[in-house]
Amino acid sequence: MSEYYFDRVNSKGEVIFKRDTNESLEDVEKYLNSKNIEYEVKEQAHMIKVFTKGRDYSYYYTTGRWAPYKKYLGGYPKKHYHSKGIEDFITRFIQGEKK
């Protein structure tokens, strides 16, 4: 996994950093399949909808960003969270396990 790097300065003048997961769609699918986790690929958005524990999540596999998918809000979350990759996302945030 790579570390954070400068991405841009937003409209509020805040510096935005980014971290890439260096995981491909195939890597993420292999992991989810090995854990029997249901998902749906949204290839154009580089996103996977993950269905687990009665909730839906949007997971962007190129950056590790994720958010609960809220159907009642039109599906678009106001805040995204960061993980280090698919395994980190599932174990820390979905299953709530500490390594």
pLDDT value of position 28: 95
The verdict on residue 56 lying in a domain is: yes
Of 7-11, 60-64, 78-82, the least confident:
78-82
What is the model's pLDDT at position 26? 95
CATH code at position 39: 3.30.457
- Using the 8-state DSSP alphabet, how is residue 79 labeled? -
Cβ atoms of 77 and 70 within 8 Å: the answer is yes
Mean residue pLDDT across the chain: 86
Quick check: 19 pLDDT over 80?
Answer: yes
Is the pLDDT assigned to residue 98 strictly greater than 50? no
Rounded distance, CA 69 to CA 31, Å? Answer: 21
Residue 74 in any domain: the answer is yes
**Is 4 a member of any domain?**
no
Residue 50 lies in a domain: yes
Range of the structural domain that residue 36 is part of: 21-94
Rounded Cα–Cα distance for residues 12 and 4 (Å)? 20
**Residue 15 counted as domain residue:** no
Is position 16 within any domain?
no
Taking alpha carbons only, the member of 15, 17, 14, 86 closest to residue 46 is 86
Structural domains of the chain, count: 1
